[in-house]
Structure 1
């Protein structure tokens, strides 16, 4: 289970949801209105009647914007703080409808499985970047299509280092811009003063 934000972060997991393929067509008229849900914790697969209080984005569960079709392209990045080693990643793709959304596909990516060779280990102080294709199930058809992701883990030490470098670069840029602005304003003011007293360059 994912840790709470009160724990010391191990890093940031950036998940880019690229696209889904071969989703079941849910709507009789028109295209699917699809969105993907990515979670660090298990998800319920039952369709739920919509209410005025829909689940919001959280540190462990996020969803994409809606895209059309059976092969929707999302190309959307989601960021998850990681407070402890993750064991699995849970995904779903839904068709947004009036009243109740339909679950098109669901799947799980084991991050610490024997066949993974430690490539998705978030407990190590090591950056990694991998593309994955997750096969999904559909309760009616069996095959729920696939979901393509890019997973990028940035350990806390690297994130802190990059943040310091970025802040230092920002501070340096701000100082240079400030110096340039002050210098320019000084030149303009000096020219105006010369004009007032009748002194030419």
Structure 2
């Protein structure tokens, strides 16, 4: 997803469901971590984190989950990303929300075009796909920072168009049935009034 001067044709959407994190470093002196996950398809910077701090300011390329307490938080939260270009890398950060300054607990990446993936994360396709992935995360020193489990579900534009047509047809059929019932009831009332 690159910025450009003219709007690009949507190739589909990528739904990233953040399931859970395991074995995150404990950051707070008292109590549990207050974790949230930040996901982007552009390199994450301090500016990206600031953009995603508020749900109102999230963009198509930077999104974050709600905050959950624990070192092994369960999120079960879906983030939707429109896909205009072939996606290459998913950047992930897990943060601990604090009153004064949030702490980066772990970060990781998933190379969607890696040859080892055998094209299973191809977003330049007309085929729908769904994969569960466990990402190895690293702390700021490069040591193991736990894992993050996500589900990636790509829905291409062709499938979305088919679903829209199917929904429109079902909606038209329902409208037709309701109109028949209303007309029938109106006729029945008119006959009673006569």
Q: Give me the TM-score of the superposition, normalised by structure 1.
A: 0.84
> What displacement does 1:117 show?
0.6
> What displacement does 1:159 show?
1.0
CA deviation profile, 1:143-163 (whole Å, cap 9, x unmatched): 111111111111111111111
Shift of the 182–45 alpha-carbon distance from structure 1 to 2, 3 Å rule, reads: same
Structure 1 residue aligned with 2:66: 65
Between the two proteins, the alignment pairs up a number of residues equal to 190
Distance in 1 between residues matched to 2:138 and 2:35, nearest whole Å: 16
Structure 1 residue aligned with 2:124: 123
Which structure 1 segments of 5+ residues have no match? Answer: 195-201
Structure 2 residue aligned with 1:41: 42
Shift of the 147–107 alpha-carbon distance from structure 1 to 2, 3 Å rule, reads: same
Distance in 2 between residues matched to 1:187 and 1:82, nearest whole Å: 53
**Contact kept? 1:2, 1:82, Cα under 8 Å:** no
Structure 2 residue aligned with 1:2: 2
> What displacement does 1:54 show?
5.1
Shift of the 178–89 alpha-carbon distance from structure 1 to 2, 3 Å rule, reads: same
Distance in 2 between residues matched to 1:123 and 1:3, nearest whole Å: 18
Distance in 2 between residues matched to 1:172 and 1:3, nearest whole Å: 41
**Contact kept? 1:2, 1:84, Cα under 8 Å:** yes
Distance in 1 between residues matched to 2:99 and 2:190, nearest whole Å: 63
* Structure of larger gyration radius: 1
Please give the secondary structure, in 1, of the residue aligned with 2:121. Answer: coil
Distance in 2 between residues matched to 1:57 and 1:188, nearest whole Å: 54
Please give the secondary structure, in 2, of the residue aligned with 1:160. Answer: helix
Shift of the 186–45 alpha-carbon distance from structure 1 to 2, 3 Å rule, reads: same
> Is residue 2:164 matched to residue 1:163?
yes
Please give the secondary structure, in 1, of the residue aligned with 2:15. Answer: strand
What RMSD, in angstroms, separates the aligned Cα atoms of the two structures?
A: 2.5
Which structure 2 segments of 5+ residues have no match? Answer: none
CA deviation profile, 1:19-42 (whole Å, cap 9, x unmatched): 111111111111111111111111
> Is residue 2:86 matched to residue 1:85?
yes
